[in-house]
Amino acid sequence: MNIIEDNEDEYEIIKIDLQIFKEELKKYRENKNTIPNNIQLKYNEIVSNYNCFNLKYDPKSVWEKKRYKNMKNNNNNNFKHKLHIFTPPNNNNKDNKLLIGLLNKITTTNEEIITNKINQIINKNNLDLIDIVINYIGKKYDVLYLKILKIFEKYDKNVVYNYIKNYVEKKTWYPYSLIKEKNILENEYYDDYCDYIKWKNNQLNMLKILYFLYKDNNNMYDDICNNLSNDIYDEIDKGLNNNEYKYLIDYLLELLEILKEKINEDIIDKLKKYNLKKVDSSTKFLILNITKN
């Protein structure tokens, strides 16, 4: 190989024997797909220490989450999007069947007609039908169903209050053991994750019922809202201090956000003192949304 050096102001020209060039080119082509040993060792180390590199793509899970997101964002009252709950074939309770059939049909267009028919079904002797209406609201929050709920108060002014009070006192909203003990976002808990989403939506809608009732009658529901917001905050505080699963903390914050107008200043001040640099962006967003004026 000959090297010819020209003036300092000019580029150097390197001449390589043609045979040497061909041999080097051949080596390059033969080895271009070979991974260097140090890179291969680093790859093995990463794969063995970080589970995320071993996760398989789960189209079923992706589809479920996408479907849920679309369903959540769809708030129109078109009949084709309405919730339908069907009675079992052996259900002989006439009032149950009639009420469920009418709830399946109600829209903003036929609201008056359907409401009048429901008024003819509900009376002081079948107030247990309230379970059906609340079940509907739990699955799909809709003001139309809330208006139906108020019909029961004509026959017993405390029937709705007692239902909500019982819900709060039993802490039905409290996360159940599986979602506290296991990370249900892992692939092996796919079915449990789907169950959790349904359960979570039900609890969020139950608190929306409470907030609706509070706005309608502040005095009656004031204490319930105060006690519940305090209980929820206590669980949030425990979760943040014990580094519980993020989805649990966010769920509790979503509950608290619904009661935002009823949260006392002491809770707001405590939330403002958390170091938001240590929490994920979604958790940070929820806390800021609750504490902002």
Q: pLDDT confidence of 17, banded at 50, 70, 90?
A: confident
Measured between alpha carbons, how far is 112 from 106 in angstroms, rounded to an integer? Answer: 9
Name the residue ranges covered by the structural domains of the chain: 2-30
| Whether the model pTM is above 0.75 | no
Measured between alpha carbons, how far is 276 from 271 in angstroms, rounded to an integer? Answer: 10
The answer to whether the beta carbons of residues 26 and 10 sit under 8 Å apart is: no
For the cut 80, the answer to whether the pLDDT of residue 162 exceeds it is yes
The answer to whether the beta carbons of residues 229 and 266 sit under 8 Å apart is: no
For the cut 90, the answer to whether the pLDDT of residue 106 exceeds it is yes
Between the alpha carbon of residue 262 and those of residues 20, 125, 137, 158, 221, the distances in Å are 82, 35, 22, 21, 10
Least confident of 44-53, 155-164, 216-225, 282-291: 44-53
Give the model confidence (pLDDT) of 228-248 as tens digits. Answer: 999 999 999 998 888 788 899
Between the alpha carbon of residue 188 and those of residues 59, 99, 181, 202, 243, the distances in Å are 14, 39, 14, 24, 22
Provide the terminal-to-terminal Cα distance of the chain, rounded to the nearest Å: 77
Least confident of 48-62, 97-111, 257-271: 48-62
Q: pLDDT confidence of 150, banded at 50, 70, 90?
A: very high
Phi first, then psi, for residue 5 (nearest 5°) are -100, 125
Give the model confidence (pLDDT) of 116-132 as tens digits. Answer: 999 999 998 899 999 99
